[in-house]
Structure 1
Amino acid sequence: MDAGISECNSGWQCNDGGIGSCCQSIVNALEKRKKEMLKRQKTGRVAQKWKHWCGAALLLAGCLIFFSPNLHQQYQDKRIQKEIAEFHMQSEPEEKSDLFGKIQRYNQELFESGQNCLYEPAYVEKAPEIDGIVSDKMFGYVEIPSIDCTLPLYLGASEEKLNQGAAVLGGTSVPIGGNNTNCVIAAHRGWKQQVYFKYIDALKHGDCIIVTNPWERLEYVVSDIQVIEPDEIERIKIQSGTDQVTLITCHPYRSSGKYRYVVSAKRKETGTVGVSEAGKKVFVQDNESAQNCIRTNSDQTIWQETKIRYAGVAVLAGFVIFTVYRNVKGGKRKDAENRACG
């Protein structure tokens, strides 16, 4: 026993596994536990930081998803403004006078032909074959102030042109105005986060539609609103003795083109006008029977789409806040436990 004690005093090494060996084992165990605790604390802090960063990234992603349509629309608005500015700088009116006469003759021949070409889908996508018209360039632009819509206008309703703005259906009048004309302008009902004719069913009788071509600015007034079947071609043909434009798009919104929403507008100087009992001018509708199916309104669908965006961001924000709160609370609890153990 004395030998064991003396060797313990000299180096805490006992050949017979005495007190010194037991103490050293305890010290080693405590040091090992301390290292493991420090390692767990470090790992926990790193994991907590990662959770915070992931939460922030999720919140940022949610905000980007929510605001993406608005940002994309702002970008498209700037693109359209730039294209319109370039359109106005292209050429002088006197250089186009000969082309104007050719288009007038084309529109008259189209009216006299009965527009049977409208029954051919491939023809609708083509620009008119008139010498001087460049099919892939803007012919002008259309403005609808009441729904804050301005779109570049192309001739020929091909998919490529519809992706860029509005397009005049091939086989309908080129938009220069004049008697016996009906320029049918098509656009998507919202497409790739762009608005286009998304809010077209907010138009009312008497609202203004403005078409600007290379020569002049033509103002039209909404006179008729219809919902038609896709194959009701007769509804969009030229009406004898009128100067009008027609807007056409899919209906209802997000219906994969089940019906067509058609807004007809007559030239401001020649619109059919009536007077209400209160003395206020109202534009007489040409086809009252069509109003029965117009109330398949898209407002509810559009609002549901907006609510889903808001709800998605709210759920994501709540998840992130809850995660951060739980991590912070858990970190404080662990720190308290570590201090108590220390």
Structure 2
Amino acid sequence: MVARNDCMPKKWFSTLVFLLGFVIFVSPFLLQGYHALRQTQVARKVDRRAMTLDTQVVNQLTKKAEKRNNSNKTGVSESTMQSLGKKQQADDTGFAIPDSDALGTISIPKINLHLPIYDGVSEKVLQKGAGLLPGSSIPLGGQGEHAVITGHSGLPNKTLFTYIGRLKKGDRFFIQVLGKEFTYEVDQKKVVIPENVQDLVKHHPENFVTLVTCTPYGVNSHRLLVRGHLTNKVPIPAVIWEQWWFMALLAVGIIMFILIMVTIVKHLWHKQRR
């Protein structure tokens, strides 16, 4: 009996270590699922708000965006490209639809992504969605536009642009700005050094959107560029965010937490009895 009691602390300790390890293992997935769900909800809210804008407001904002697009004839500069994710970004200009801090949204059905797009690339912006790189165009569907949309990848608690490398030529992604929908088809994918902005310049009369993220994970010495050209409009497929696995992990996490607490209580109770 004494030998059995001596083994009890080791048994409870081993169980506790296993449960704690499991919770630590699933925590990043739970956080990624939570943030993905949250960002999808924000993006849908932005889309709904844009669809309810008064025609006069849309016309005013469109003229403002066109004026800004026309003021930059070349596109993104090297210094801007190198400043991705800096905490302070002077070029964040704050173009957004009323009652929102986003200018539009991006949907990539292949990777189940639906994110708000913000104006600028400060770290604050890139932590909550995609950012429009200063010097690039606001997507309006016009000739000679080249929007450069950036996003973080490889973050432990958020997916964001982590999986844009899975896109291949012919895949489509969708941009919504001021209630208008634009369809883009991937035609080019490259890895370049940060100083290389040759693929981000404007090409009249072409209309491009290039998605940019840092690569490889954890090193961030290069930039992955995924470019799409404006194509015939097609209905935006529903971005089916796989909520089931998030809810399953959340349920498992809660169960594991309860088991940990029960294990601790039982261990303390047995210890007091001895």
Partner Cα distance (2:160, 2:84) in 1: 23
Amino acid at match of 1:266: H
Q: CA deviation at 1:129?
A: 6.3
Q: How does 1:212-227 map to 2 (within 5 A)?
A: 212-227=176-191
Amino acid at match of 1:152: P
Q: CA deviation at 1:70?
A: 2.1
- Name the % identity: 26
Residue equivalent to 1:293: none
Amino acid at match of 1:110: N
Partner Cα distance (1:117, 1:231) in 2: 9
Rg: which structure is higher?
1
Q: How does 1:113-192 map to 2 (within 5 A)?
A: 114-115=74-75, 117-120=77-80, 125=89, 126-128=91-93, 137-192=101-156
Distance change >3 Å, CA 134–CA 162, structure 1 → 2: farther
Q: Answer 1 or 2: higher relative contact order, Cα 8 Å, separation at least 6.
A: 2
Distance change >3 Å, CA 147–CA 85, structure 1 → 2: closer
Q: CA deviation at 1:230?
A: 0.8
Partner Cα distance (2:37, 2:84) in 1: 32
Q: How does 1:64-103 map to 2 (within 5 A)?
A: 64-90=23-49, 92-93=52-53, 94=55, 95-103=57-65
1:163-203 Cα deviation digits (max 9, x unpaired): 11211111111122211111101111221322222222221
2:18 aligned with 1:54, yes or no? no
Amino acid at match of 1:195: T
Total equivalences in the alignment: 225
Preserved contact between residue 135 and residue 154 of structure 1 (Cα < 8 Å): no
1:233-273 Cα deviation digits (max 9, x unpaired): 2221212211110011122233x212111111000139xxx
- Give me the TM-score of the superposition, normalised by structure 1: 0.59
Q: CA deviation at 1:116?
A: 6.5
Ranges in structure 2 where 5+ consecutive residues have no aligned partner: 234-274
Q: CA deviation at 1:161?
A: 0.8
Preserved contact between residue 123 and residue 170 of structure 1 (Cα < 8 Å): no
Partner Cα distance (1:122, 1:257) in 2: 13
Q: How does 1:100-115 map to 2 (within 5 A)?
A: 100-111=62-73, 114-115=74-75
- Comparing 140-149 with 88-97, which one deviates more in the overlay? 88-97
Ranges in structure 1 where 5+ consecutive residues have no aligned partner: 1-37, 271-342
Residue equivalent to 1:261: 224
